[in-house]
Amino acid sequence: MADLFRSMLFVPGTRRDRFEKALASGADAVILDLEDGVDPRRKPDARDAVADFIAGRPAAASSVFVRVNAPASPWIDDDLACVGRLDGIRGVVLPKVESPRQVEAAARHAPSRRVVPLLETARGVLDAAAIAAADADVPALLFGAEDLTADLGIPRTVDGEELLFARSAIVLAAAAVRADAVDAVFTDLADSDRLRVDAERARALGFRGKMAIHPAQVPVLNEVFAPTPDEVERARRLVAAFDAAGGEGVIRVDDQMIDAPVVRRARRVLALAATSRRTRS
């Protein structure tokens, strides 16, 4: 089954009491966090809690990523050693990535673990294409807006115009290596309407999903980043008409000219719809 990243839910690694709830939230992926969600004095506690949980729930591991600490941090070596011993987890989220070498180093120290770069600094965004191509098995690029705006010394606004270049750069870098781009968290937990608007704007730019910081955000994200019934029905008709015409050239459907790129987009809609259905069954 193809990876699905409509919603990626963070849980602090020290909050063992929240792990099960996160897994039951319906999120496509759960990120057990060893970085920003953990007090520096409790980093070893978080590693132990995550390792004990995965050891006790091997069936749940396939939905789990672990966010380690940043490559320049004093905790990264211990984090990667811990992750390398975990069986069956979906991958490692590497924060504050600024160069391909950091992805390559993480992949070497945690072999057989898929590394997911989190781009949240000016240097990381500017090197997004090279970072995406650093490892052949990068399934997604994640965008960290809070750290980026802090790096730039600017406020994060409701309209998000200050993030348009960065978001577009990450979408293009992900698409170039056939990975998914996943948008930043929305921090206002009480405003689901604005969460929906923010997610719809991200989808329009080419993001395939969004990170979440509370289980209540997950249903909104799963809905926004899944094809609508109308989109699925139109995609079916386009693919069927194109295939019936021989699968090449240009055809006319509903007074519109349809060619191969449009049909590729339609096939992706159908594949995403099929994957979304399997995650609900």
Range in 46-55, 66-75, 103-112, 141-150 with the lowest mean pLDDT: 103-112
Instruction: Answer yes or no: is pLDDT of 281 > 60.
Output: no
Place of tokens 């807006």: 145
- Provide the mean pLDDT of the chain: 93
Rounded mean pLDDT of 127-148?
96
Q: How many CB atoms lie within 10 A of CB 117?
A: 31
Go through the chain and tell me how many residues it has: 281
C-alpha–C-alpha distance, residues 141 and 157, integer Å: 22
Instruction: Answer yes or no: is pLDDT of 222 > 70.
Output: yes
Rounded mean pLDDT of 59-66?
93
Rounded mean pLDDT of 27-45?
97
In sequence order, the 6+-apart residues with CB closer than 8 A to the CB of 245 are 251
Cβ–Cβ under 8 Å, residues 126 and 152: no
Predicted confidence band of residue 253 (pLDDT cuts 50, 70, 90):
confident
In CATH terms, the superfamily for domain 7-224 is Phosphoenolpyruvate-binding domains (3.20.20.60)
Amino acid in position 154 = I
CA dihedral for 102, 106, 112, 113, sign (positive or negative): negative
pLDDT score, position 280: 61
Amino acid in position 197 = V
Instruction: Answer yes or no: is pLDDT of 62 > 70.
Output: yes
Q: Which two tokens stand for residue 277?
A: 């259905």
Residue ranges covered by each domain of the chain = 7-224, 229-280
pLDDT, one tens digit per residue, over 151-198 is 999 999 989 999 999 999 999 999 999 999 999 999 999 999 999 999
Range in 56-70, 130-144, 157-171, 248-262 with the lowest mean pLDDT: 248-262
Cβ–Cβ under 8 Å, residues 5 and 276: no
pLDDT score, position 249: 81
Q: Which residues pair with 9 in a beta bridge?
A: 30, 212
pLDDT score, position 255: 75
Q: From residue 232, how far is each of 28, 243, 270, 276 by CA, in Å?
A: 20, 16, 6, 12
**CA of residue 92 relative to chain centroid, distance:** 12
Q: From residue 183, how far is each of 164, 210, 221, 237, 274 by CA, in Å?
A: 12, 4, 11, 30, 22
Instruction: Answer yes or no: is pLDDT of 64 > 80.
Output: yes
In sequence order, the 6+-apart residues with CB closer than 8 A to the CB of 75 are 34, 43, 68, 69
Instruction: Answer yes or no: is pLDDT of 271 > 90.
Output: no
Amino acid in position 138 = V
C-alpha–C-alpha distance, residues 109 and 125, integer Å: 24
| Enclosing H/E stretch for 256 | strand 256-258
Rounded mean pLDDT of 103-128?
95
Rounded mean pLDDT of 11-38?
97
pLDDT, one tens digit per residue, over 67-105 is 999 999 999 999 999 999 999 999 999 999 999 999 999
Predicted confidence band of residue 241 (pLDDT cuts 50, 70, 90):
confident
Q: What is the pTM of this model?
A: 0.90
pLDDT score, position 235: 80
Half-sphere exposure of 100 (CA within 13 A, CB side): 11
Rounded mean pLDDT of 25-53?
97
Strand 251-253 versus strand 256-258 pairing type:
antiparallel
